[in-house]
Amino acid sequence: MSILSDRVKGLKPSATLAVDAKAKALKEQGEDILNLSAGEPDFDTPEHIKKACIKALEEGFTKYVATQGIPSLRKVICQRIKEDYGLDYSPEEVIVSSGAKQAIFNLLLALVNPGDEVLILSPYWVSYPPMVEIAGGIPKIVPARFEKRFEPDLTDVKASITQRTRGIILNSPSNPTGLIYSRDFYLGLSEIIKEHNLWVISDDIYDRLRFDGKGPENILTFAPELKDRVFLVNGVSKTYAMTGWRIGWAVGPKEVIKACANLQGQSTSHATSFAQKGAEAALTGPQEPVEIMVKAFANRAKVLCQALKEIPGLRFHEPQGAFYVFVDFSAYYGKKTEAEKEIQNSLDMAEYLLEQAKVALVPGVAFGDDAFLRISFATSEEVLKSAVERIKQALNKLR
């Protein structure tokens, strides 16, 4: 008889973290692995941010702080949202957590009752459905088609809503597609949200990593009247190359933010004190490192997409932001390897490419679409070119 709780018996590890760990393990064993699975910038954290953290350490800023986050950082987060979105928030409407992932987790625990349904637009970040399930809710996946640039039909969104539907999670630029939702989609969706009185978690972690020169956008950009039911989630991990620092935040109606603080107080307490000082320096300091990184990602996206276009049968949309491209490999499904194993799905393809090409990609089934694999271009152009050439050779060997 298992002593495990029901909530964890069917819980699977994060596919992206699992592939990344396997790729790194193989590399440590001497394998020449090109790892295009990781969802983190390959840039170093900017020096002024590291210095701010070191200064905090040297000054003894290593003790407990407020569970909700240090006041100065929460104030700076409000200022950043005002600058980026033109929205006014108070520090009491902000909670700092150990990464944006914990911020989303806290929100779902605070908002979801057993049996509540939460809409998740496909393809989606791998952790959304498990988080909803851990909170006792039911993830309702809303399909989207490649032909419509993975923007769900609003009729499909409405058809997915039942009397038990309570909220929706949005992510743009998207992980895994790198695409950005259109103004028309946001406007149409906002009417549905108002009609059915849904709350919204807007995962804005990639909001400043976009290649069109525009500033950050989310649903409140187009429907600010929804402010009393929208929760903005963000952090420093992607924008400032601070993935290991684990600083993120949620911003929204005070009652729910307070509930998140109570939850966090009974779990992790506050995010690391001196790391919060680093995050404060990131938001207030020079933004040129972000601009340099975005320009590099945009160039890499062009290089990667141009190389992928030379492989017959692959389909993808060129990303508009983040550092991912979602590629349809299904034209090669049904073919066999030299060992006579048939490639049937994205898991088979990812395994084959790791073994044959020594290239690590994340299977699309983890994101809700088994025809695809996610490629991260958070690495050098040379590595990207080499990886695509290896993929091309490996696919040519299938018959």
Q: Rounded mean pLDDT of 128-135?
A: 97
pLDDT (tens digit per residue) in 341-363: 999 999 999 999 999 999 999 99
pLDDT tens string 148-199? 999 999 999 999 999 999 999 999 999 999 999 999 999 999 999 999 999 9
| DSSP one-letter code for 199 | E
Residues 6+ apart with CB under 8 A from 134: 7, 11, 105, 108
pLDDT of residue 352: 95
Residue 257 and residue 283 in contact, taking contact as beta carbons nearer than 8 Å: no
11: pLDDT strictly greater than 90: no
Q: What is the dihedral of CA 106, 111, 116, 118, to 10 degrees?
A: -70
Domain ranges of the chain: 6-44+288-396, 63-284
For the chain, state the CA radius of gyration: 21
Query: Residue 22 — pLDDT band, cuts 50, 70, 90?
Result: confident
Q: What integer pLDDT is reported at residue 390 of this predicted model?
A: 98
Does residue 23 carry a pLDDT above 90? Answer: no
Q: Please tell me the distance from the alpha carbon of residue 34 to that of residue 131, in angstroms, as a whole number.
A: 30
Q: What is the phi/psi pair of residue 138, to 5°?
A: -120, 115
Among candidates 108, 66, 67, which has minimal Cα distance to 265? 67
pLDDT of residue 39: 86
From 3.40.50.150, 3.40.640.10, 3.20.10.10, 3.40.250.10, which CATH number describes the 63-284 domain?
Answer: 3.40.640.10
With both helix axes pointing from N to C terminus, report the angle between 47-58 and 273-284 in degrees, rounded to the nearest 10. 140
Q: What is the DSSP letter of 210?
A: B
User: What is the distance of C-alpha 181 from the center of its chain?
Assistant: 15
Q: Which string of b and e fits 40-64 if b means at least 16 CB within 10 Å?
A: bbbeebbeebeebbeebeeeeeeee
Distance CA 361, CA 19 (A): 7
Mean pLDDT of the 26-54 span:
93
List Cβ neighbours of 203 (8 Å cut-off, separation of 6 or more).
100, 104, 125, 169, 170, 171, 233
Whether cis (ω within 30° of 0) applies to the bond prior to 173 is yes
- Mean pLDDT is lowest, of 25-29, 138-142, 249-253, for 25-29
Q: In the prediction, which pLDDT does 1 show?
A: 73
Neighbours of 343 (CB within 10 A): 21
The residues, any chain, with a CB within 8 Å of residue 13's CB and separated by 6 or more, are none
6-44+288-396 and 63-284, same CATH topology: no
Average pLDDT, integer, range 197-207: 98
Q: What percent of the chain has pLDDT over 90?
A: 92
CATH second-level architecture of 6-44+288-396? Alpha-Beta Complex (3.90)
Residues 81, 218 contacting (CB under 8 angstroms): no
Which range has the top average pLDDT, 2-16, 28-42, 206-220? 206-220
CA-CA distance, 152 to 25, in Å (whole number)? Answer: 38
The Cα angle at residue 202 between residues 244 and 288, in degrees rounded to 5: 50
pLDDT for 6 equals 86
CB 319, CB 177: distance < 8 Å: yes
Contact 300, 325 (CB under 8 A): no
CB 302 within 8 A of CB 388: no
